[in-house]
Structure 1
């Protein structure tokens, strides 16, 4: 099976404030955007991050060939339980999803 990281041009995650994370999937062109859009299951992504699917916000931005996901941080930024102050490691979980 083809992994998301093999299809997308770039996948990154970052803080969207102290309570939210955002993950951007840059596809590069319309063909790859459609491939990722069709293959990326929102329910599966929510399960991967162990959050209710209704709290995951997804934005498919065709003009930019980009999919943006926003989700609550598992721990408030800067708290002792926060293992990723900048939110940069969350994209790594998505990279290995198969089915594209």
Structure 2
């Protein structure tokens, strides 16, 4: 049997929870509750996680994406307009409860993996 190839770590691996929810009928908010300051450093890294990345993941205008970085809580919140209005005919996730999945499964850059290994 061949050896298993290790999968690269994803953002969710360093979080207590990554979740999404409605922020009214026209906006979605996602929250990353990171396990520690090292995890927060990954989520708060502007070169890894920024408006362009979110725009690409969710098909929204980068100019409308809002980040709220809260280092004292190891939390990064991200808000953007919903692609369709809540409960509209094309809304496939009325509570926006599944929007967090692409965010949680973002592959962590190699430079951060090295930082985490040195802390273990």
**TM-score scaled by length of structure 1:** 0.92
Instruction: Indicate whether 1:37 and 2:61 are aligned.
Output: no
Residues 41-64 of structure 1, C-alpha deviation per residue, up to 9 Å, x if partnerless?
331121111112111000111111
Q: Which has the higher contact order (CA 8 A, sep 6+)?
A: 1
Is the 8 Å Cα contact of residues 8 and 36 (structure 1) preserved in structure 2? no
Matches within 5 A, 1:16-55: 16-38=23-45, 39-55=48-64
For the pair shown, the structure with the greater C-alpha radius of gyration is 2
The number of residues matched between the two structures is 100
Q: Of 87, 96, 99, which aligns to 1:90? A: 99
Is the 8 Å Cα contact of residues 23 and 69 (structure 1) preserved in structure 2? yes
Distance in 2, matches of 1:46 and 1:71, equals: 9
Residue of structure 1 in register with 2:82 after alignment: 73
**TM-score scaled by length of structure 2:** 0.78
Distance 1:41 1:2, change over 3 A: farther
List runs of 5+ in structure 2 lacking aligned partners: 1-7, 110-120
